[in-house]
Amino acid sequence: MTIVTRTGDTGTTGLVGGKRVSKTDARITAVGDIDELNALLGVVRCETVPRDVEVVLEAIQHRLFTLGADIASPAGTKAHTERIQPAHILVLDAWINLMEPQLPALMHFILPSGNSAGAHLHHARTVCRRTERSVVALSQVEEVNPEVLIFLNRLSDLLFVAARAANAASGVPEETVKYD
């Protein structure tokens, strides 16, 4: 089987259930942002990160496929699709609750920097925030599983904490923002 199907040659792509939409459709934009976030987490995993962060990132990458399928499956789709559930959000909360107490209290805004892994995780957080905005835009024109928005909001929090954890593990101090 080949990856080349030619079905997208005219600027459309298929959703779960078979409906074809423009590649500029809000749903496809959101799915593309999820895909970009997943690829960026793959880049982070090429870096040296603490083992607990590595395990979390791998699990998130798998869960992002569930998220993408959820978005690519409009309400009423007859095909069975796994959806983001409250339990998925609870897992993110648990990971935050495990990592955050090991970090210094955050008293000021910090620069999104640090070692390579930490900087990439900060970048992933911003891509996650863009993904969240894409899904909000989609939700304003079509029905979206409300758990998806909660999941993305919580995931960006987790990525921020993971960036701090990666930097702390490598001994890179956080730089607070200096306002002129």
User: How many other C-beta atoms are found inside a 10 Å radius of the C-beta of residue 52?
Assistant: 15
pLDDT score, position 4: 62
Nearest to 26 by CA among 15, 10, 37, 40: 15
**Mean pLDDT for the stretch of residues 79-91:** 91
Identify whether 115 is part of a domain: yes
pLDDT for res 80: 75
- Give the model's pLDDT for residue 10: 62
> What's the mean pLDDT in 84-100?
97
Q: Does the pLDDT value for residue 132 go beyond 80?
A: yes
Give the H/E segment covering residue 61: helix 51-71
User: Which domain CATH number covers 56?
Assistant: 1.20.1200.10
Residue bearing tokens 């990856």: 3
Average pLDDT in the 64-87 region?
A: 87
| Tokens (6 digits) for 146 | 């409300």
- CB atoms near residue 123 (< 10 Å): 17
Burial of residue 140, with CB atoms counted within 10 A of its CB: 0-12 exposed, 13-18 middle, 19 or more buried: exposed
In a domain, 4, yes or no: no
CA distance 72 to 66: 10
d(C-alpha 10, C-alpha 8), whole Å: 5
pLDDT at 167 over 80: yes
In a domain, 30, yes or no: yes
Is the pLDDT at 24 greater than 90? The verdict is: no
Residue 31 domain boundaries: 22-73+82-169
Domain count, the chain: 1
Q: What is the mean pLDDT of the chain?
A: 91
What pTM does this model have? Answer: 0.91
